Amino acid sequence: MDKKFSILLVEDEENLHEALKLNLELDGYEVTGAYDGAEALKVVQQEYFNLIILDVMLPEIDGFTVCETVRLQNPDIPILILSAKSSSADRILGLKKGADDYLTKPFNLEELLIRVSKLIKKSERLNSKEPLPEVYQFGENKIDFKALEGFSKTQQKIPLTKKEAMLLKLLIENKNEVVTREKILQAVWGYNVYPTTRTIDNFILNFRKYFEADSRNPRYFHSVRGIGYKFTED
């Protein structure tokens, strides 16, 4: 595996937690552990994960509530629920709360590893968007990604930093969709643990200054409170 995918493992039963962590690490994943629902929600706020493996019966906050809460903040991250409850009503509840897959205990370890791999591959496919052309035009503005330059509607040349170009590219590739702060910080800054979101806010303010006719009423670059940022084009 060239790129190490990171997994958040939320399981309060210590022996099972250790066994799963070990097997996932042997498969090449980076694993962060949490033993209760409150801890899981705290960790999700601070780090980026490619997958969450989530037990249902957890202390503090149960797995279904954790799943629902994570979904409100991050619609993309794959969630695999592990549960001792095997009734179809519980299964349906888990999927309704936003889980991508549901595995009942006791489970076959090999099956779990196959499902983990499939979920991560699927989310990677969804995240790899069509590549943008080297020069992208919107309204009367233009961005040359290769030359790291932008041109405003008055054709004024704007030198762009590499990070600015990367962020512009990410937002434009996901045109008309909200890109979460976590995804931006992971893709552009490459941090697993984040700096403040003000960092991104400053970039967005610059983009408005460069490319908007009225930076107070932006047409292209929007902040979506508490979630992330969006590039829109009519």
Mean pLDDT rounded to a whole number for the chain:
89
38: Cβ–Cβ under 8 A, 6 or more apart, which residues? 60, 61
Distance between CA atoms of 87 and 118, rounded to whole angstroms?
24
- Placement of tokens 């595995």 in the chain: 103
Distance between CA atoms of 10 and 40, rounded to whole angstroms?
6
**pLDDT, tens only, 156-186:** 999 999 999 999 999 998 898 888 887 887 7
**pLDDT, tens only, 74-130:** 778 899 999 988 788 888 889 889 899 999 999 999 999 999 999 998 888 766 666
CATH 3.40.50.2300 location in the chain: 6-127
Q: Model pTM greater than 0.75? A: no
How many CB atoms lie under 10 A from the CB of residue 157? 11
Residue type, 161: T
Half-sphere exposure of 99 (CA within 13 A, CB side): 25
* CATH entry, 135-231, from 1.10.10.10, 1.10.274.10, 1.20.1050.10, 1.10.240.10: 1.10.10.10
- The CATH T-level fold of domain 6-127 is Rossmann fold (3.40.50)
